[in-house]
Amino acid sequence: MSSIIQLLPDHVANQIAAGEVVQRPASVVKELLENAVDAQATDIKLIIKDAGKSLVQVIDNGKGMSVTDARLCFARHATSKIRHAEDLFSLHTKGFRGEALASIAAIAHMEMKTKQDQDELGTHIVIEGSKFVSQEVAVLPKGTSFSVKNLFFNIPARRNFLKSDTVEFRHVMDEFQRVALAHPNIHFSFYHNGSEMFNLPATTLRQRIVGVFAGKTNEKLVPVTEETEIVKVQGFVSKPEFAKKSRGEQFFFVNDRFIKSGYLHHAVMAAYDGILKDGLQPSYFLYLQVPANTIDINIHPTKTEIKFDDEQALYAILRAAIKHSLGQFNVAPILDFDRDANLDTPYHYKDLEGETPTIQVDSTFNPFEMSEMPKKQMASASSGGNSYSYKKVEPTASWESLYVGLKNDTEDIVSHTFENEAVTASLFNDNEVEQAVYKTYQIHKKYIVSPIKSGMVIVDQQRAHQRILYEQFLLNMTVNQAASQQLLFPLNLFFSATEMELIRELQQSLVTTGFVFEESTQDHVVISGIPVHITESEVSIVIEQLISDLQDGVPENNYSQNDTIAKSMAKSLAVKTGSYLTEKEQDNLVNGLFACKDPNISPFNKPTFITMRVEDIDKKFAL
């Protein structure tokens, strides 16, 4: 019987390894940028085309490689970072497993140019699907340049699973931002389809954050600093008033490596407890330095998850450091029971001398002369003089006379009222009288109860309003010409580069809803007109909610885009649970819901109302 188990060929093994390392163009960007950082480069340039599907190129001025190293770096498990197994617990570099270049070369056309500073000539290597096509000597500058073209050319199934260019570009942008934020001492530049997206010179940490996210980022940053034997924490968090619904600007770096940690994120949220509204997320850029032997970074293929030796201590230190910073910079309220803020001296009165008050007394004043005024003075007072006069009012002796006849008048009013109600009832038939007593009631500022013939209907006010707004917006976007109200003063809204790319893709669909864009730059938009159903203060809320809902990608066809925008705007603008509604607003909401094409469910496929029959209520009272 022949053997069943066989060794895989190298190119097949590389393609399998590529499935773990290379998931999309952003994975290639991450590996190449980290290699450039490990090469001690001070200037790194990223160039992509078609969101990285056609080309990903990284050029650096690092140490470069010799001829032998240039050939060997494409072999599996070839690395310059570790020599022994113990080295895994004292890593200070990015890549170390020796699979990245081999995996990328297995599923793309790859070209490498490298040269060391002491060498006169460099090496130029071309690889296609793990096969070396050529290797030759070339005149090159110091450093290394990797070009990755036609990603997944030999695995069409993987290529078909890639998302749209907008989604893939956003993932590339995320990876670039993570590496750029981790190393503010390196000059980074980023080009997409020939356009410059970023040009970030070497600078301080705060300026790097402002350079990446632009806008009014500098205004919202609060510094965080704490140093203990376990961890050294530094970085910035945002002020509570700048919190957003999306979780885009949240970064943890451990030993200059970006990580994801739900446990540490919970520590940050605990520090903001009590000063943030529900559903809002703060921005943070936190850098943790810990001993290399206290963490394990080899538990995930992309090395974005880390195992800490003492997570509880890190949690407590991080939460305390952020709380201290928020209080120190007067962002969070401070409780001091021994201090009365009303007694604080204003700054402009701090150094002024107090003036002694003066008392003026009228020595000629006699209060008893008023009751014995001469008649001439009384006359002059009544004619508009400066003297005072008092008129003595005699008390009413017969106060009981004020209530004479009151009982008879009350009886007339009551009898007259009953006569009018009888006349009114005679004007309507029984059904109309029954409808007239029907009223809507609001329960716990969440549900609206309305009687019907068979029993009663209970409406969820938030879901019902979402359904009404959703159908209105969708009708305006697809059939009617959306009305727009012009603003007296245009709105300037600032966003990050990733968010601006998303807004630009949705701009045409937003115009059909009634938005008017006057200007669109790299970090902000100017809006001069808004839909009639939206107030000026709600514009930023609507757009932030839209960005949050489209984090996973923008639908490609227009109908799906319109549907997504209508749902997002309905979610933002619908009346929320806990809002008080007047009786007229309750009636309008109920009538508007049952005028919809599909009143049974909300835009998010949840029931908008339930009905209870009289028979069902009777069963509750049955013995």
Q: What is the CATH number of domain 205-328?
A: 3.30.230.10
289-328 tens-digit pLDDT: 988 877 776 655 556 777 777 888 899 999 999 998 888 8
Architecture of domain 457-609: 2-Layer Sandwich (3.30)
Query: Residues of the chain with pLDDT > 70: what percent?
Result: 75
Residue 85 has pLDDT above 80, yes or no: no
DSSP 26-64: HHHHHHHHHHHHHTT-SEEEEEEEGGGTSEEEEEE-S--
Total residues found in the chain within this entry: 623
Give the domain 10-200 fold.
Heat Shock Protein 90 (3.30.565)
* Per-residue pLDDT tens digits for 236-251: 999 888 888 777 788 9
Dump the DSSP string for 63-113.
Answer: ----HHHHHHTTSTT--SS-SSGGGGGS--SS--SS-HHHHHHHTSEEEEE
Say which range, 274-283, 364-373, 557-566, has the weakest mean pLDDT. Answer: 364-373
Question: What is the C-alpha to C-alpha distance for residues 35 and 100, in angstroms, rounded to an integer?
Answer: 9
- The answer to whether the predicted template modeling score (pTM) of the entire model surpasses 0.85 is no
pLDDT, tens digit, 9 for 90 and up, residues 445-463 = 899 998 888 888 999 999 9
If one counts every other C-beta atom within 10 angstroms of the C-beta of residue 260, the result is 14
| Overall average pLDDT of the 69-97 stretch | 63
Residues of the chain with CATH 3.30.1370.100: 457-609
Provide the phi-psi class of 555: left if phi over 0, else alpha when psi is between -120 and 50, else beta.
Answer: beta
**Residues 586-617: tens digit of each pLDDT:** 889 999 999 999 899 999 999 999 998 898 88
The string of DSSP codes covering 427-456 is HS-HHHHHHHT---EEETTTEEEEEETTEE
Q: What pLDDT score was predicted for residue 77?
A: 65
- CATH 3.30.230.10 domain residues, the chain: 205-328
- Mapped onto helix, strand or coil, the DSSP state of residue 219 is helix
Q: Give the pLDDT band of residue 11 (cuts 50, 70, 90).
A: low
Q: Which residue intervals of the chain bear CATH 3.30.565.10? A: 10-200
pLDDT tens-digit readout, 115-137: 999 889 999 999 988 888 899 99
Residue-wise pLDDT for 532-588, tens only, equals 878 888 888 888 888 877 766 666 666 677 888 888 888 888 898 888 888 888 889
User: What pLDDT, on the 0 to 100 scale, is given for residue 294?
Assistant: 78
Angstrom CA distances, 585 to 193, 439, 468, 574, 591, stand at 52, 12, 13, 13, 10
Residues 564, 204: Cα–Cα separation, whole Å: 40
Q: How would you classify the pairing of strands 284-289 and 250-254?
A: parallel
Q: Residue 234: what are its φ and ψ, rounded to 5°?
A: -150, 160
pLDDT at 384: 47
State pLDDT tens for residues 29-63.
998 998 899 888 999 999 999 989 999 999 999 99
SS3 494: strand
Provide the pLDDT for residue 340: 53
Question: How would you label 138-170 residue by residue, b for 16+ Cβ within 10 Å and e otherwise?
Answer: eebebbbbbbbbebbebbeebeeebbebbbbbb
* Residue 58, CB-side half-sphere exposure with 13 Å CA sphere: 28
